[in-house]
Amino acid sequence: MADCVLSELQEGCTQPQDEDIMDIPLDDPAANKAAAKIQAGFRGHMTRKKMKDDKPRDEKQREQK
């Protein structure tokens, strides 16, 4: 698929990129459980990143007061 993306930029791709995505059954409970775990992990990552970025700013504001 990565080769397809590179070749699409150069000369056009013969396979649609969405073809691989459509092979996943959306009503499969195992797929839904796996997707929920991935999403929860990513949301946790983003929250930790945001909290890490916000913390130094809060400390700087306290020092100025």
The 3 state secondary structure assigned to 13-62 is CCCCCHHHHCCCCCCCHHHHHHHHHHHHHHHHHHHHHHHHHHHHHHHHHH
> pTM, whole model, 2 decimals?
0.48
Per-residue pLDDT of the chain (65 residues; tens, 9 = 90+): 455 555 555 555 565 555 666 677 788 999 999 999 999 999 999 999 999 888 766 565 666 66
Residues 7 and 61: their CA atoms lie apart, in Å, by 50
